[in-house]
Chains A and B, each alone.
Chain A
Amino acid sequence: MSRLTRGYVTNELNIMTTAEQESLIIRRGSPWWRMLLRDRFALVAALWLFVLTLCFLFGPLLFEDAATKLNLRARNLPPGSLEHGWLMYLGGDALGRPMLARLIVASRNTLAIALSAVFVAMIVGGILGMIAGYVGRSVGHVIMRFADILQSFPSLLLAVVVLYILEPNVTNLVIVLAITRLPIYLRVTRAEVLEIRERVFVDAARALGGSRYHILRRHITPVVAPTLLTILTVDFSIVMLAESSLSFLGIGIQPPEITWGLMVAAGRNYLSQAWWLAFLPGLAIMMATLSGNILSNWLRVVSDPEQRWRLEDSSGKKSGQTDA
């Protein structure tokens, strides 16, 4: 190194330096919250997810009792009136329990199950996908056939079998749901890895002596992760609905525990008399999913240096080169 540091900057290089400066516009990076404020949709989505987090943390604590209290006069009460108190503002269910309280309380089970299922699926699928894509052909083949088997097996059937054999509790439910979603993450990761490993910057890292682990960690994961996060948010709603189907079949979460999926399932019987029984929890699922989706898109833009300028202060717009 000493050879290099010996102040080796010739005049000619200095001239170049000054000229090169002009093609770059000085720009400060914005903090993440600034970029969140600049994207209205992402901001609303983030706020909504924050509200859901509050429900998740404190909902059952505050409204557990209210959510289970029967009130026969409020059976199938339509939403929009404050007559029976603010908890009844969204109406009452078939047994006259306040919808709002039930939705808030149900958020914990719903989010806990769906989030853990998709995260487990993403992490396990991602790791297997990386191994399949980067480590070796034969290992890759074994993993891919495993994914084929998982995918060709009807996922509901798989869940039914597993949950009949094991006890239908929350942990097993999460495991079953994770297994059924696993192949998607595995395939996407593998496909991305196969593409990225051929890029020249990966060759450059190999030529520097970088190990497989180094390349996976420094070069491949940062590119794959945002894609997986996007899939995760879409998967989120699929998992919530799958969980409700299982509950419907009597092998998922059982009453008196409640989840949004279960509420949709229960409300289906009353669709003609009281549509809100199924609609409101359905709306909750949709809004949670949509918020997650919007936020993950925002995250993808923020994590991509080439896209980030879209969310930064307008003065820094598309700085530097066009490289036409």
Chain B
Amino acid sequence: MPDPILEIDDLRIEFRSGGEIVHAANGVSFQINPGETAAILGESGSGKSVTAAAVMRLLQSPPAFITGGAVRFKGQDVLGMPIAKWRDYCGREIAMVFQDALTSLNPVFSVGWQIAELFRAHGVAFGRDANARAVDLLNRVGIPDPALRAKDYAHQFSGGMRQRVMIAMAIALGPDLLIADEPTTALDVTVQAQIMELLEELRAESNMAMILITHDLGVVADVADNVAVMYAGRVVERGPVSEVLARPGHAYTLALLDSVPRANSLGQHLKPIIGSPPDLARIPKGCAFHPRCRFATDLCRNEEPPSVAVTPRRIAECHHVEAVFNDS
């Protein structure tokens, strides 16, 4: 096994506001190896985006406080690193693509200028060279007429093209890890397919690792090698995608898969997960999923579930791994 490129260990994040504490992450552990595609799967409020923001050190404190845990990138402690050093890492070694490309791009500079600025800021290239590289990049992410479009502004691009620009900026300095936070959520399916293919191509070309944050089971099944399923600020199950989604070990993963319409569920009623995702200021005691779980027992209501190795490569935090595993 190679050393993981990124390691998140028992990360805890709180948001404090108005006398309330929102527990956004409650001990998230996760790792990704070089060249691998890992997905973090979760619904809104599961803590997946907050975790990514914490890794990139994008959280505003207050209201956000990291109350425990560690993040290691290539063996180095991220959270304790001087911020100037970390900024230098960003882009060069680790980069991020956001869901909302329009607000992530500066509206008053042309996109070509913004990409070239990356090279200039990191001292990689200057002047004409930087501009030429920017055009190259736009070409590489599949933007037609790159030399011309480089002079355009963010609002002149369509949603899919804008996301390509974002990707171009993210890969500009050849990072070893790309974090993509819901990169295709705002896009149509046909465009989503294009963007996912582009990301996959770029990843394979440079042997970059990629963390894909998404709520879409289909996207996970399509592109990821490994998956971490998050619920109420915890990774409740992780392992290889083909195994986890084919035969879940955690009741939540199973329920999630059951609730999605599939070819073999036609004409029947779906099996929804009852209730709503929990209020992160009032996470239920014991297993956070127990109020919505059909396997729940008194044990689940009172005690936090242990980490169980479902198979050697898989972990699930559930009191009833065996029952779930046999049911699925």
In-complex A–B contact (CB below 8 Å): yes
Give Cα A19–Cα B276 distance, bound, in whole angstroms.
8
Q: Is A15 in contact with chain B by the CB < 8 A criterion?
A: yes
Q: How far is the CA of A320 from the CA of B282 in the complex (A)?
A: 10
B280 touches A322 (CB 8 A): yes
Q: B269 touching A19 by the CB < 8 A rule?
A: no
Chain B nearest CB from A196 CB (Å) reads 25
In the complex, the answer to whether B275 meets A324 with C-beta atoms within 8 Å is: no
Residues in chain A near residue B225, CB distance under 8 A: none
The answer to whether B44 and A23 have CB atoms under 8 Å apart is: no
Among A12, A16, A22, A324, residue most surrounded by chain B Cβ atoms (within 10 Å): A324
CB distance from A297 to the nearest CB of B (A): 18
A214 within 8 A of B: no
A318 close to chain B: CB less than 8 A: yes
Interface residues of A in 290-324 (CB under 8 A from B): 317-318, 320-322, 324
- Asked, given contacts A12-B269, A322-B45, whether A23 binds B274 with beta carbons under 8 Å apart, the answer is no
* Among A18, A19, A317, A321, contact of B279 (Cβ-Cβ < 8 Å): A321
A20: Cβ under 8 A from any B Cβ = yes
B-side interface mostly: loop
Whole-angstrom CA separation of A16 from B272 in the bound complex: 9
Task: Give the residues in chain B near A19, CB-CB below 8 Å.
Answer: 274-275, 291-292
Find chain B residues with CB under 8 A from A320 CB: 279
- Please report the C-alpha to C-alpha distance between residue A19 and residue B296 in the assembled complex, in whole angstroms: 13
B18: interface (CB < 8 Å) = yes
Q: Knowing A12-B269, A19-B292, A22-B291 touch, does A322 contact B279 (C-beta < 8 A)? A: yes
Chain A hits for B196, CB < 8 A: none
Say whether B145 faces chain A, with CB atoms less than 8 Å apart.
no
Contact count band on A: 10 to 19
Q: How far is the CB of B299 from chain A (nearest CB, A)?
A: 19
What are the residues of chain A within 8 A of B279 when measuring CB–CB?
23, 320-322
Given contacts A12-B269, A22-B275, A324-B280, contact A318 B292 (CB under 8 A): no
Q: Which A residues are in CB contact (< 8 Å) with B18? A: 318
Confirm or deny: B20 has a beta carbon within 8 angstroms of a beta carbon on chain A: yes
Say whether A324 contacts B274, CB under 8 Å. Answer: no
Could you say which of B20, B272, B279, B291 has the most chain A C-beta atoms within 10 Å of its C-beta? Answer: B279
Q: Please count the residue pairs between chain A and chain B whose beta carbons lie under 8 angstroms apart in the complex.
A: 36
Interface size class of B (residues with CB under 8 A): 10 to 19
Q: Establish whether residues A321 and B276, one from each chain, have CB atoms under 8 Å apart when the complex forms.
A: yes
In chain B, what residue has the closest Cβ to A321?
Answer: B279
B22 interfacial contact with A, CB 8 Å: yes
Mark each residue of chain B from 253 to 282: 1 if its CB lies under 8 Å from any CB of chain A, else 0: 000000000000000010010111011110
CB-contact partner of B276 in A15, A20, A318, under 8 A: A20
CA distance A22 to B18 in the complex (A): 23
Write out the residue numbers on chain A whose beta carbons fall within 8 Å of the beta carbon of B22: 322, 324
Q: Which residues 5-57 of A sit at the B interface, judged by CB distance below 8 A? A: 12, 15-16, 18-20, 22-23
Chain B nearest Cβ from A324, distance in angstroms: 4
* Inter-subunit contact A16/B44 (CB<8 Å): no
Most buried by A among B276, B280, B281, B292: B276
User: Which single residue of chain B is at the shortest CB-CB distance from A314?
Assistant: B19
**Nearest A residue (CB) for B275:** A19
In the complex, the answer to whether B20 meets A318 with C-beta atoms within 8 Å is yes
**Contact (A23, B275) CB under 8 Å given A318-B18, A322-B280:** yes
Q: Determine the distance from Cα of A22 to Cα of B272 in the docked complex, in whole angstroms.
A: 17
Q: How far is the CB of B256 from chain A (nearest CB, A)?
A: 16
CB of A25, distance to nearest CB on chain B (Å): 9
B156 shortest CB reach to chain A, Å: 25
Chain A residues within 8 Å of B44, by CB? 324
The proximity string for A residues 141-154 relative to B, scoring 1 for CB distances below 8 Å and 0 otherwise, is 00000000000000
Q: How far, in angstroms, from A314 to B45 measured CA to CA in the complex?
A: 25
Question: Which residues from A are CB-within-8-Å of B275?
Answer: 16, 19-20, 22-23
Q: How far is the CA of A22 from the CA of B269 in the complex (A)?
A: 24
**Nearest chain B residue, comparing its CB with the CB of A15:** B274
| Complex CA distance for A7 and B292, rounded to whole angstroms | 26
Contact, CB under 8 Å: B276 / A324: no
B196: shortest Cβ distance to chain A, in Å?
26
A254, B44: Cα distance in complex, Å? 67
Contacts of A321 in B (CB 8 A): 276, 279
Nearest residue (CB) in A for B45 is: A324
Q: Which residues on the B side are within 8 Å of A20 (C-beta)?
A: 274-276
Tell me the smallest distance from the CB of B326 to a CB of chain A, in Å: 23
The 7 nearest A-B residue pairs measured at CB: A19-B275, A19-B274, A324-B45, A322-B279, A23-B276, A16-B274, A22-B291
21 A-B pairs in the complex with CB atoms less than 8 angstroms apart: A16-B272, A16-B274, A16-B275, A18-B274, A19-B274, A19-B275, A19-B291, A19-B292, A20-B275, A20-B276, A22-B275, A23-B276, A23-B279, A317-B19, A318-B20, A321-B276, A321-B279, A322-B22, A322-B279, A322-B281, A324-B45
Please give 16 more A-B residue pairs, beta carbons under 8 A apart, in addition to A12-B269, A20-B274, A321-B276.
A15-B274, A16-B275, A20-B275, A20-B276, A22-B275, A23-B279, A317-B19, A318-B18, A318-B281, A320-B279, A321-B279, A322-B279, A322-B281, A324-B22, A324-B45, A324-B280
